[in-house]
Structure 1
Amino acid sequence: MPVVVFPTSRLLWVRVAALLFTCVAFSVAAHGAALYGGMADWCIFCWAFSFACTLLVLLVEQFGLQARIPVSWSNFHITIACYGALLCLSASVIFPLFFLRNQPVSSDARDHRIVSTVFSCLATVAYMGEVSLTKARPGEVAGYMATAPGLLKVCQTSLACVIFILVSDAVSYNHHAALKWCMAVYCICFILSMAVVLLCVGECTGCLPIPFSKFLSAYGLLAVIMYLTATILWPVFQFDKQYRGAGSASSKLIAVAVLTALNFLLYLADLAYTARLVFVSV
């Protein structure tokens, strides 16, 4: 009877660690953490999505099925690793803030929440290790998603997702046209960045009517200008007493202002990297 031998490497063990850590995080949280609300759903989604995608990557690579997957595998696996790192990082920050700090729950539920937080942090470290092992090195020919601009696209879409979660209530932005413009900026830039990710992973960059490099440059410049306006308008119309609605500014709205500024810096860095991109997409 033939014996199946799975090759081992540092990358394999890092992926296995990420798989186990995310499995423990969402299993413990769902089992006895007594969670409720949209933030809880987001955190569990982050862990479960990362677990499922990492399991898929492990199975495909261990059984040598890369050629049968209708995507660019060199772009796909690092995209999954980067999303896993950022999703678990967001859960590692959001979960203790919303479900550990000043929460009147039983000691058993609190213990479950602490365990989930710890394993979420461990999963974040594991995914960061995977990204470090698989990202492109200077002078190396690699897929676009393994380059700095590709990884920045993942960061941009991940931050936008967190912004959407924080402003899921329309009351946060429907009291002034400038805030609605900010929401339009978040949506448009998210859609375009995600489109770039999907085009690269699906090897469809040649379907564009213009060269991919020119599309990236034009979109990068547009996104920087749009996010600059949102970075200025959101805090002005949310926190200035002359424009804001009834009530004081919540911590969620402050977090959105910070994340907007951070995403602006990511788009600015993306534009700078794209301008001098020397890697070849495969």
Structure 2
Amino acid sequence: MPVIVLEAKDFTSPLFLMRTCAVLSSCTAFSLVASQQSVLEPESNTFRVFCMFTWCFFFILTLLIHILSIIQFHSLIPISWKNLVITVAVLGGLMSFSASVLFPWNVMDRQKVTPRCVAAAVASCLTVLAYASESCVLCIQPHEQRGYMGSTPGLLKILQLWGGCQMIPLIVDVAHGLHGVHAWQLWASGASYSVCVLLSFVTLVVILGDLAGRCLLPFDRFLAGFSLIGVLLYMLATVICFTKILQLRNPGQSSPKIGELFIMETVVSSVTLLAYTVDLAFSIKQLCDRSHM
């Protein structure tokens, strides 16, 4: 089978240039950080690993998508290509944004700034801009070209997955010595985030694999059930987050870093709860519309 490559004009298209920028900037970010010794405090290595994983993981994914788009082999992959590219672009932008915030917060705020750290932070910000631009281009395409993940419910599910992924380093860092938090709070919030992340991955796999027709029940009912579970669990997690913040008023339990961690967890949890709530409203509306048909 002959290999088909893009025409010369396609190499100057916005998508090609944006993906090239995302690949180069993410590669630059993790290369600069990996080429120097860790300047972070031992308890902050969780965020360094998170940032490195984010840059490396989406660098590999975007590079593979870039190569497959050039040689036009994506039609041979047994997944929904249009849903894959929009998912990687949007989720890559959100995750890179988190890395662009967490990395300077852990390095530069501790007065351990080096030229490589500054360059890595700038490269990470460029990665965010590249993914954001690619996401905008993909989202303005017709519905048939951008797929389900490019619609409002699909984007909400990407936001839900991003929120769950942000909780992983936060919970791990808080669990390091149980900084000002009770064990039951840690287990309850951790279990809530884990279940929601698992449900988000299952939903993503079903959509990318075009497996919705093989479900035992109509897929829209599964989505509504998943959204309802997410709303309930994130309501619990958000209440626990606000409880942690109130506990900071107690003498001897507050410190600048712990307060910042709790505030970040509360903000992300609230945003994710909002995404689940809106997604549940969309799912209920879709079920009601079908019942009247």
TM-score when normalising by structure 1: 0.87
Task: Find the counterpart in structure 1 of residue 231 from structure 2.
Answer: 224
2:26, 2:124 within 8 Å by CA — same for their partners in 1?
yes
Task: Find the counterpart in structure 2 of residue 248 from structure 1.
Answer: 254
Structure-2 change in CA distance of 1:64 and 1:242 (3 Å): closer
* Further displaced range: 268-277 or 163-172: 268-277
Query: What are the residue-to-residue correspondences of 1:1-282 with 2, within 5 Å?
Result: 5-6=7-8, 7-8=10-11, 9-32=13-36, 34-36=38-40, 37-104=45-112, 110-135=114-139, 142-168=146-172, 169-170=174-175, 171=178, 175-236=182-243, 238-241=244-247, 247-248=253-254, 250=258, 251-276=260-285
Q: Find the aligned partners of 2:157 and 2:4 in 1 and give their Cα distance.
A: 42
SS at the partner of 1:61?
helix
Structure-2 change in CA distance of 1:221 and 1:137 (3 Å): farther
Alpha-carbon offset, residue 174 of structure 1: 7.3
2:143, 2:150 within 8 Å by CA — same for their partners in 1?
no
Q: Describe the superposition over 1:66-100 as per-residue Cα deviations: whole angstroms up to 9, x where unpaired.
A: 12112111111111111210111001000110011
1:29, 1:35 within 8 Å by CA — same for their partners in 2?
no
Q: Find the aligned partners of 2:4 and 2:226 in 1 and give their Cα distance.
A: 51
Amino acid at match of 1:128: A
Q: Find the aligned partners of 1:82 and 1:39 in 2 and give their Cα distance.
A: 21
Structure-2 change in CA distance of 1:267 and 1:207 (3 Å): same
Alpha-carbon offset, residue 139 of structure 1: 6.2
Gaps of 5+ in 2: 288-293
Structure-2 change in CA distance of 1:211 and 1:247 (3 Å): same
Amino acid at match of 2:164: A
Structure-2 change in CA distance of 1:136 and 1:196 (3 Å): farther
Q: Find the aligned partners of 2:171 and 2:212 in 1 and give their Cα distance.
A: 32
Q: Find the aligned partners of 1:265 and 1:138 in 2 and give their Cα distance.
A: 27
SS at the partner of 1:32?
coil
Q: What CA RMSD, in Å, does the superposition of the two structures yield over aligned residues? A: 2.7
2:93, 2:127 within 8 Å by CA — same for their partners in 1?
yes
2:192, 2:237 within 8 Å by CA — same for their partners in 1?
yes
Gaps of 5+ in 1: none
Percent identity of equivalent pairs: 31
1:78, 1:134 within 8 Å by CA — same for their partners in 2?
yes
1:54, 1:80 within 8 Å by CA — same for their partners in 2?
yes
Alpha-carbon offset, residue 259 of structure 1: 1.3
TM-score when normalising by structure 2: 0.84
Q: Find the aligned partners of 2:129 and 2:69 in 1 and give their Cα distance.
A: 22
1:206, 1:212 within 8 Å by CA — same for their partners in 2?
yes
2:227, 2:276 within 8 Å by CA — same for their partners in 1?
yes
Structure-2 change in CA distance of 1:70 and 1:3 (3 Å): closer
For these two proteins, the number of residue pairs brought into alignment is 272
Q: Find the aligned partners of 1:104 and 1:136 in 2 and give their Cα distance.
A: 42
